[in-house]
């Protein structure tokens, strides 16, 4: 991810404010994935959902703290920030446009079991262009996880009588793992940026 530093001393709030809310979104997405574990796998699934609820709470609380903290920094718009914002806006528009169109088509053709697998597949695929936009290698390693579970679920739905709850749950495994990795990575990135800035101000780093 691009690190924007003003005069190499004061961290630009543009970067912090852009990443601070991301883990909050991951907290919500995580529950949207793991809720299906309970519907598909009974007690074991609800135990997994409870664990994910705990993880989601951590991501949510930490993200809220970072959002409040990021407001302490002045925002200076940069060319890099504008470029990333524009590119991510286009990517989100295209990705979610395809996502909702796919959902509508699947509903029309009465193939509900494929909704979550297809949604997860699209989310996984969008990590590849995002990696290039954000200059972040992690996305290349995260992307195959939801793509793999989505494809497994799609294959099972097409070739068996797999219940839609199980199809949703299987596809969601990769989505849940990806959101956890991404959520904590963003929290770590925020901490590293602010710690680096504090060390610079204290003269501990060149």
Give the pLDDT confidence of 40-75 residue by residue, as tens digits: 999 999 999 999 999 999 999 999 999 999 998 888
6 belongs to a structural domain: no
Q: Is the separation of the CB atoms in 142 and 182 below 8 Å? A: yes
114 belongs to a structural domain: yes
Q: Tell me how far CA of residue 80 lies from CA of 83, 126, 151, in angstroms.
A: 5, 21, 35
3 belongs to a structural domain: no
- Two structure tokens written together for 92: 């989100």
204 belongs to a structural domain: no
Residue 154, pLDDT > 90, answer yes
Under the banding of pLDDT at 50, 70 and 90, the label for residue 3 is very low
206 belongs to a structural domain: no
The whole-number pLDDT of residue 198 equals: 52
pLDDT tens figures, 76-124: 778 888 888 899 999 999 999 999 999 999 999 999 999 999 999 999 9
- Two structure tokens written together for 126: 């969008």
168 belongs to a structural domain: yes
Distance separating the N- and C-terminal Cα atoms of the chain: 21
Any idea what the Cα angle at residue 143 is, between residues 103 and 135, rounded to 5°? 115
104 belongs to a structural domain: yes
**Number of domains comprising the chain:** 1
The whole-number pLDDT of residue 11 equals: 56
Provide the residue range defining the domain that includes 127: 13-196
Task: Give me the count of residues in the chain.
Answer: 206
**Average pLDDT score over residue span 137-150:** 97
4 belongs to a structural domain: no
Provide Rg for the chain, Cα atoms. Answer: 19
């Amino acid at each position: 991810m691009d690190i924007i530093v003003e005069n190499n001393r004061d961290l630009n709030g543009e970067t912090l404010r852009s990443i601070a809310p991301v883990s909050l979104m991951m907290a919500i997405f995580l529950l949207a994935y793991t809720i299906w574990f309970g519907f598909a796998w009974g007690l074991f699934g609800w135990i997994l959902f409870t664990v994910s609820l705990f993880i989601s709470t951590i991501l949510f609380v930490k993200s809220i703290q970072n959002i409040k903290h990021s407001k302490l920094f002045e925002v200076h718009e940069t060319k890099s920030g504008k470029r990333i914002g524009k590119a991510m806006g286009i990517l989100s528009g295209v990705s979610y446009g395809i996502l909702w169109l796919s959902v509508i088509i699947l509903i029309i053709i009465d193939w509900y079991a494929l909704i979550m697998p297809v949604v997860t597949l699209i989310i996984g695929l969008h990590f590849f262009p995002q990696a290039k936009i954000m200059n972040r290698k992690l996305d290349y390693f995260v992307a195959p996880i939801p793509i793999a579970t989505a494809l497994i679920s799609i294959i099972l739905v097409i070739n068996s009588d797999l219940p839609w709850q199980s199809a949703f749950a299987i596809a969601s495994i990769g989505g849940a793992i990806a959101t956890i990795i991404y959520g904590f990575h963003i929290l770590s990135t925020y901490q590293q940026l602010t710690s680096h800035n504090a060390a610079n101000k204290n003269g501990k780093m060149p």
